[in-house]
Amino acid sequence: MENELVCPYCGQTHPSTAQFCPKTGQKIPAKQLCQNCGGEVQSSWRMCAFCGQKLSTDNGSATAVAKRQGKRGVGIILACGTIAFLLVGVAIVMWFLYPDSIGAMFEPLRAHLPLPSPTLTPTSTAEPVVETDTPIMPEPTPTLTTTPELSGLPKWHNQNSGTNNILSEIFFTDMDYGWAVIGESDTGILHSSDGGNTWVEQNSPTQLSLESVSFVDRNVGFVSGGNCYMDQTSQGVVLKTNDGGQNWSVVLQIVPMVNSIYFVDEMTGWAVGEDYAEANGGNGSTVILSTTDGGNNWQFEDVSDITEGLKDIFFFDRANGWAVGQSGSILKTNDGGETWSPQYSGTKAWLYSVYFINARDGWIAGDYFNYSTSSAVVLTTTDGGRIWSSHPPIEDDLRSIYFVNSLEGWTVGSGVYHTADGGLSWEKVPTIISEYLNSVYFLDDKHGWASGWNGTILKYAPSN
């Protein structure tokens, strides 16, 4: 047995000095000690070459011990690393939550640390730093606050109209050319060719008060107005110019006063008013007029079943138009004014102004005709007026409304109000004057005008 061994490959005995199995040709590996007989065996053998017993995979050999120790060492290293990671994480969280307490914990250690070597700095003429017990705080970085005037944002500016009369309505065709009309028992037409910086009065062929103005370009424009008298009679007039107002001519004189006029092009326009003559039904009878030849001829539309006087008219195109007036009256046409149908407003307020940006989205402004209290009404629609919705009331009178898009709009009266959500909410805008305003008109979201009492004209534009 000492001179022979059992081959781990073929199972037969070979001389103990044999290095290769004569049957398989495999090299007999180096030997370790068998746990049964103590013979020298190799760790890769499955059975002892001397006693033929199966070798244990976890014997007491140096290789097995090393493997066990290596695995144990790796486990210890991983455990220590995990604990260290958790401790660092807890320390970071505690530092953010309790910075003062964590800093105080290290004060004793900092006291025993060596001080850094002093750094020599060049001499300076600055005053020496005086050490005090009070910590020196760094100078705060100045914060710049911008105002509309400094940042160039639009704001309202006062313009000199040159008159103290009441301005009923204002209209601009572009950034330069605009007109304003004088009403409320006075008369006159003002014109500006520089965006409202200067105004000149144009010759008017009538002594009647003027209430409304509408231009289709710099040359062709129309003005309407009239007076009502103590005997419940009234007079109305429509003027036209073809040269920007250098010459005005009367194109219509009628019994009812004409409160509002609107043209969509040089030939097509409409006007509304109210007839105070007793022969025509007494106070507040409705009048709607239309022309298709530039105002040379006017037709009375059939609105005999409407008894409330109308204050304003607006057309989005040649077909779709709206008229509004007393006691919540709203009329709609979709055939250019040939037929009119009432729409339900849900209010008895007097409605003074209507505006649409398309055939669906529109707004109306007015108030309750009561001199002792002020309570405004703003109506909105998104379906052409089939349904009108009223939003939280404004505690002021309102006379005019204008929108530059579906969200941003303005309304004026005894205050100036702005909306950025389509009229769902309104914010009162401070202005440099407190005069009552009758009219507001915008070219875009940064350029607009308003006119009112005592010759007031305000311009909304970016600051210089």
List CB contacts of 346: < 8 A, sequence separation 6 or more. Answer: 328, 379, 388, 390
- Measured between alpha carbons, how far is 360 from 237 in angstroms, rounded to an integer? 32
Per CATH, domain 154-462 is 3.10.350.10: no
Confidence of residue 135 (pLDDT cuts 50, 70, 90): very low
Q: What is the pLDDT of residues 220-231, one digit of tens each?
A: 999 999 988 766
- Measured between alpha carbons, how far is 223 from 319 in angstroms, rounded to an integer? 22
* Domains of the chain, residue spans: 1-60, 71-100, 154-462
Cβ 67 vs Cβ 60: under 8 Å: no
pTM of the model: 0.67
Residue 69 pLDDT more than 70? Answer: no
pLDDT of residue 28: 66
- Measured between alpha carbons, how far is 124 from 119 in angstroms, rounded to an integer? 15
Cβ 44 vs Cβ 29: under 8 Å: yes
Which of residues 167 and 20 earns the better pLDDT score?
Answer: 167
List CB contacts of 292: < 8 A, sequence separation 6 or more. Answer: 267, 268
Mean pLDDT for all residues in the chain: 80
List CB contacts of 383: < 8 A, sequence separation 6 or more. Answer: 360
Residue 144 pLDDT more than 50? Answer: no
Most confident of 150-159, 199-208, 365-374: 199-208
Confidence of residue 187 (pLDDT cuts 50, 70, 90): confident
Other CB atoms within a 10 A radius of the CB of residue 168 amount to 26
- Measured between alpha carbons, how far is 23 from 7 in angstroms, rounded to an integer? 10
Which of residues 64 and 420 earns the better pLDDT score?
Answer: 420
Q: Mean pLDDT over residues 239-264, rounded? A: 95
Return the percentage of the chain with pLDDT > 70, whole number: 70
Other CB atoms within a 10 A radius of the CB of residue 167 amount to 29
pLDDT of residue 372: 55
Q: What is the pLDDT of residues 338-375, one digit of tens each?
A: 999 999 999 999 999 999 999 999 999 999 866 556 68
Determine which of 190-204, 313-327, 372-386 has the lowest per-residue pLDDT on average: 372-386
Confidence of residue 204 (pLDDT cuts 50, 70, 90): very high
Alpha-carbon distances of 350 from 58, 413, 456, rounded to whole Å: 104, 13, 24
